[in-house]
A = this chain, B = another copy of it.
Amino acid sequence: MTHWTQDKIQLGHGGGGRLTGRLIRDAILPRLDRGHLAELQDSAILNSLSGPLAFTTDSFVVSPIFFPGGDIGSLAVHGTCNDLACAGARPQFLSLGLILEEGLDIKKLHEILESIARASDNARVEVVTGDTKVVPKGSADKVFINTSGIGSVKAHAALSMARIHPGDCILVSGPVGNHGLAVMLSRADFSFDFNLESDSASIWPIVEVLLELGPSLKFLRDPTRGGLAATLNELAAGSQMGISVDESTIPLDESVISASEILGIDPLQAANEGKVVVVVEGGKAQKALELMVGCGPGQHASIIGEVTSHRPGVVVMNTRIGGQRIIPEPSGELLPRIC
């Protein structure tokens, strides 16, 4: 065996035979096994679940696979946890599907697995089942990851656009655009540092404190692809209400503003991977804000707008200079492979 083959992923690592077994034993189990994975069955048996469950899936194809503030591994953990959290469910179990390109540095795979382990432990989820495929060089780009997740629903009432009404308030848990701009910056090769990192993180701690609001909590959504602009438009279209937001209340980091000007990317259309958009009964907006601000990752939360009966399906922004403009649904693909 040459030096090359020991350091790189080979087709045989996905063949289901000896090399696959070695990869699982040497690279995956030592990092990720927390009780279920080492049995190496094709399915994990979960005994401790009860009540309604949330089930979700997400594939991650981000490029580059390492970026400031995270990598494809931590992103894959947080992204799926956050989809569960938006259903009011405590993330509990993850599956991990790896598609590796022949020739991938095994060292990079180790780093990604380390990152998955760290992110999972921090988010208190367990990777319980997995699958590894290898495709010939040129048939994929380095590594794609699918994580599916199961969580226990803790919300007291359905989180549904159907419960959104005029007068409800809209909050966001912190500054937006950081993930999208951090990834785009890491593709461009700038000679100066914007000090800008992805916000990739689990939002469950924020959601958990918000559950105290009971049925006053109407809807949650993590503004990933298409950013805040896409989420607000989904809300408007799905609820058939109007949405009015105030530009001055939308939290934006200085670094995001600078980078978005240089890259020509609207930060409202840039992906977030650790933020949540929250719709609550109008009378509970201040309480929701206090709960979020009192919780570490929600400290820069803000009330950004409200649901109206005017112009159903349309998102209107009151600008800083006193005008109004429509925030359109992002169309096409401005930022491919952002997550």
Contacts and interface: CB of A to CB of B under 8 A. Distances in A.
Contact of A57 (B39, B130, B136): B130
Contacts of A44: 54-56
Contacts of A148: 57, 95, 97, 146, 148
A42 interface: yes
Nearest to A39: B160
Nearest to A50: B50
Nearest to A136: B336
Contacts of A332: 10-12, 15, 17-19
A331 B11 CA distance: 11
A55 B138 CA distance: 31
Interface string A95-119: 1111100000000000000000000
A14 interface: yes
B55 A150 contact: yes
Could you say how many copies of this chain the assembly holds? 2
Nearest to A150: B55
A86 B43 contact: yes
Contact of A337 (B16, B87, B136, B334): B136
A139 interface: yes
Interface stretch (A217-225, A244-252, A257-265, A278-286): A217-225
Contacts of A72: none
A59 B99 contact: yes
Interface string A3-21: 0000000111111111110
A131 interface: yes
Given A230-B16, A332-B15, A333-B134, A52 B42 contact: no
Given A45-B52, A151-B43, A57 B140 contact: no
Interface in A140-169: 140-141, 144, 146, 148-151, 153, 158, 160
Interface string A49-71: 11011111111110100000000
B55 A128 contact: yes
14 contacts: A12-B331, A15-B225, A15-B330, A16-B330, A17-B332, A18-B332, A19-B333, A43-B55, A43-B89, A45-B53, A47-B52, A57-B131, A59-B98, A59-B131
Question: Which 6 A-B pairs rank lowest in CB-CB distance, beginning with the nearest?
Answer: A16-B225, A57-B95, A148-B148, A15-B333, A43-B87, A11-B333
